[in-house]
Amino acid sequence: MIPYFDTGFLATPILNATGSPIAWRLARLFEAPYPVNRLHVLQIEGMLFKAAASNELPEQQAALTGVRLWNRHFEEGVFEPREEAWEVALRLATNTNRQTEANPVSPLFHLHMAVALLANVTHFLSFRAQARALAAALGLKLLPERL
Amino acid sequence: MRQFKQDLAKLTDSLKPGEAVRVTRRGKVAGVYTKPTARKVRRPNFLANLKKATYPPEAAERWIATLYDPVL
């Protein structure tokens, strides 16, 4: 069983969100370390840095805690950086994006899906309906099974 | 070397931990790539860490929602 965490799902172990308890239960189905690619890193760190620059105190607190946990999980080897064949993934994502011209979604969903396919993953963990629909169409098992 | 760069993820998946392959450039060995040996990592209790949070889940939700901003 090889998991692929959607970035929103990957954020739930570092940010106290409503999906965190479910994400924790599902993550335990898979052995650590959990693979994390550069697209994950770019999205998560971008989100945390923007939140840290927010004028709202709760959001600053969320960002600071998130950054601390994010770094700690890498230091402890719980999250493992993974290199991907980006050129191939981008080409694949461009093709699948063109195939969904009638129902466009964020190109980032296509890029994640391409990376997941190239990594031969078996399970796609996500709380995002659009990403889940793409993953299901490509034959990946979805977790949670229902939203 | 070119193929190695393009297919690194696929190659890594196909190797067993500790297994190595030679990477050639124009027929000459340019290096050796070894898949790291598997290691067990103790999984932290994510929820226990998050219970110390001093902010409401809504604050986190707002930022998670921005990950797939329509701009991209």
Cis peptide before A35 (omega within 30 of 0): no
- A110 vs B: CB within 8 A: no
CB contact under 8 A, B9 and A11: no
For B63, the token pair is 């930022």
Q: What is the dihedral of CA A14, A128, A21, B45, to 10 degrees?
A: -40
For A7, the token pair is 């970035």
**What pLDDT digit, counting tens, does each position of A16-33 carry?**
999 999 999 999 999 999
Tell me how crowded residue B21 is: count the other CB atoms within 10 A of its CB: 14
Burial of B41 (0-12, 13-18, 19+ CB in 10 A): middle
Tell me how crowded residue B14 is: count the other CB atoms within 10 A of its CB: 12
Fold of domain A3-143: Rossmann fold (3.40.50)
State how far the Cα of A134 lies from the Cα of A95, in Å rounded to an integer: 13
Pairing of strands B20-25, B28-34: antiparallel
Q: Which of A16, A106, A120 sits opposite B13 (nearest CB)?
A: A120
Tell me how crowded residue A104 is: count the other CB atoms within 10 A of its CB: 10
* Residue numbers in A near B13 (CB within 8 A): 119-120
Task: Please tell me which residue of chain B has the smallest CA distance to A33.
Answer: B41
What ipTM was predicted for this assembly?
Answer: 0.83
pLDDT exceeds cutoff 80 at B2: no
**What pLDDT digit, counting tens, does each position of B40-69 carry?**
788 888 888 898 888 999 989 889 999 887
Of A110-119, A128-137, B2-11, least confident by mean pLDDT is B2-11
State how far the Cα of A114 lies from the Cα of B57, in Å rounded to an integer: 31
* Residue numbers in B near A21 (CB within 8 A): 47
Tally C-beta pairs within 8 A across A and B: 119
Give residue limits of the domains in chain A: 3-143
Radius of gyration for chain A, computed over Cα atoms and rounded to the nearest angstrom: 15
Average pLDDT, chain A: 94
- A49 vs B: CB within 8 A: no
Please give, rounded to a whole number of angstroms, the shortest distance from the CA of A123 to a CA of chain B. 16
In eight-state DSSP terms, residue A29 is T
Burial of A33 (0-12, 13-18, 19+ CB in 10 A): buried
State how far the Cα of A81 lies from the Cα of B5, in Å rounded to an integer: 17
Task: Give the orientation angle of helix B57-65 with respect to helix A38-52, to 10 degrees.
Answer: 130
Report yes or no: A147 and A126 within 8 Å, Cβ to Cβ: no
